[in-house]
Amino acid sequence: MDDMKDVWQKQAAENATVSLEEVRRKAGRFRATIFWRNVREYSVLGLLTAWFGLYAWRSPFPVMRVGNGLTVAGLLYAGYQLHKRASAAAAPADLARKTCLHFHRAQLERQRDALRGVWRWYLGPMIPGLAVIAVAAGIAGFERSWSAGLAVVLFAVAGAMLYVGLGRLNQGAARRLQGQIEALDAIEKEPK
Amino acid sequence: MEETESIAARSAGQEELYRGAAAAFGASLGRLARAYEADAGARRDLLQEIHLALWRSFESFDARCSLRTWVYRVAHNAASSHVGRQRRRRAVMLESLEDLEAMPDRGEACAPDERQALDRLLALIQQLKPLDREVILSYLEGMDAASTAEITGISAGNVANKIHRIEQILARRFHEGEPHG
């Protein structure tokens, strides 16, 4: 099999050098990418918070104000969790201190935990606020007419089904990742 | 003042380590990037990503392992993160060595010229799961089972077993049908 090693090692080098200046430029671009990604994510969160916050402040119905206020609290909590998870990214030296097996396992674990806990940190915190808004909108709808009330109920049921579907998709993905983690554990446990 | 001097000294050490590693392992890192990314544009980006990760990692190099182990761990871990991101984006399925071994050949087993052999070898490596990819690359770079075990974290016995499989797969795919004598 040495001839395959020869073929591999003698392959024509394809512009393989990277200068220190290029690395520094890449570091700058990397920081800029992270900065703009954060701007994007926090802007969406800020806009949603402003939208629900405005309704919490301006709505003439007290129940609606409570629902919107709870949604703002849920959004802020999800934002805090997003920030916490983004800051917990691997330190540069982790890439070298962890063997490939441990690094790969840690990455899978991080993804699995994010997916598994999606109800706790992302979908769940919005439920109280959205549920109160749905109830308030339903009451207002039925006060106006049966058809308006029914439309709100159907809309709320569709939203709840979408929510449950999203949760199930995430749990399924988390289970698949758990399978991969167990396969890596089995490799690690094999005799030396 | 002392703190500024210490930061400057650390930064100079980081640069020196990086330059040394890039000079010693640059060609090998280029081959590694090629094994992880088929698209030429994305490959240049991946190579820069590997070098950036290496440069940043030397900020806290502690010499608890050899420079070679450090460089290869950084390179493989940075590259497999890249593959993970691409996989989520492109929904690519990866295979294990065991899967490849069980797959029937598609009538490709003949003695190809060097260029074809390299292309087919790259195609084969690019469909492997991360750990198997790390083992086959270490093997092709000429490392022994113990060094590969230190980089990957798989036991030396298991690495030897995987290398045996790799040799069988390569023999089957690249040498069957080759004229003897």
Question: Which pLDDT does position B128 carry in this prediction?
Answer: 86
Q: What mean pLDDT do residues B25-51 have?
A: 90
**Chain A CA closest to residue B15:** A20
Q: Dump pLDDT digits (tens) for A106-116.
A: 888 988 998 88
Q: What mean pLDDT do residues B73-96 have?
A: 80
Q: Give the number of domains in chain B.
A: 2
- Supply the range of the domain harboring residue B29: 2-90
Q: What are the helix and strand counts (H, E) for chain A? A: 8, 0
In a domain, B35, yes or no: yes
Distance of residue A95 Cα from the nearest chain B Cα, in angstroms:
5
> Contacts of residue B155 in chain A, CB cutoff 8 Å?
190-192
B81 shares a domain with B23: yes
Distance of residue B82 Cα from the nearest chain A Cα, in angstroms:
12
- List chain A domain ranges: 19-189
CB-based contacts of B107, cutoff 8 Å, min separation 6 = none
CATH value at residue B144: 1.10.10
B74 shares a domain with B111: no
- Higher model confidence: residue A148 or residue B5? A148
B156 shares a domain with B129: yes
Residue pairs spanning A and B at CB distance below 8 A: 140
Question: Which pLDDT does position A11 carry in this prediction?
Answer: 82
Query: Of all residues in chain A, what percent are helix, strand and coil, respectively (each to 5)?
Result: 85, 0, 15
Which of A 22-81 lie inside 8 A of B, CB atoms?
Answer: 22-23, 26-27, 30
In a domain, B180, yes or no: no
Question: Which pLDDT does position B134 carry in this prediction?
Answer: 92
Query: Per-residue confidence at B89, pLDDT binned at 50, 70, 90?
Result: low
B103 shares a domain with B81: no
Question: Is any Cβ of chain A less than 8 angstroms from the Cβ of B128?
Answer: no
Complex prediction ipTM:
0.77
B122 shares a domain with B66: no
In a domain, B179, yes or no: no
Of B60, B73, B142, the CB nearest to A9: B142
Which of B72, B90, B108 lies at the terminal end of a domain, its last residue?
A: B90
Which of B57, B90, B123 lies at the terminal end of a domain, its last residue?
A: B90
Query: Per-residue confidence at B65, pLDDT binned at 50, 70, 90?
Result: confident
Query: Per-residue confidence at B181, pLDDT binned at 50, 70, 90?
Result: very low
CATH value at residue B34: 1.10.1740.10
Q: How many residues in chain A?
A: 192
Which of B 140-179 lie inside 8 A of A, CB atoms?
Answer: 140-142, 150-158, 167, 170-171, 174
In a domain, B181, yes or no: no
Question: Is any Cβ of chain A less than 8 angstroms from the Cβ of B60?
Answer: yes
pTM of the model: 0.77
How does pLDDT run along chain A (192 residues), one tens digit per residue? 667 888 888 887 666 678 888 888 888 888 888 788 888 888 998 999 999 999 999 988 899 999 999 999 999 998 888 888 776 666 677 788 888 899 889 888 988 998 888 888 888 899 999 999 999 999 999 999 999 999 999 999 999 999 899 989 999 999 999 998 998 888 877 765
- Contact at 8 Å (CB) between B152 and B131? yes
Question: Which pLDDT does position A153 carry in this prediction?
Answer: 93
C-beta atoms surrounding A117 within 10 Å: 16
B31/A9 touch (CB, cutoff 8 Å), yes or no? yes
In a domain, B65, yes or no: yes
- Contact at 8 Å (CB) between A100 and B134? yes
pLDDT at B104 over 70: no
Query: Per-residue confidence at B180, pLDDT binned at 50, 70, 90?
Result: very low
**Chain A CA closest to residue B135:** A100
B167 shares a domain with B118: yes
B78 shares a domain with B9: yes
Percent of chain B with pLDDT over 90: 28
**Chain A CA closest to residue B133:** A100
Which of B90, B112, B131 lies at the terminal end of a domain, its last residue?
A: B90
B71 shares a domain with B103: no
**Chain B CA closest to residue A5:** B140
C-alpha dist (Å) from residue A129 to A72, A114, A133, A191: 8, 22, 6, 53
B72 shares a domain with B44: yes
A92/B48 touch (CB, cutoff 8 Å), yes or no? no
Q: What mean pLDDT do residues B60-77 have?
A: 89
B49 shares a domain with B118: no
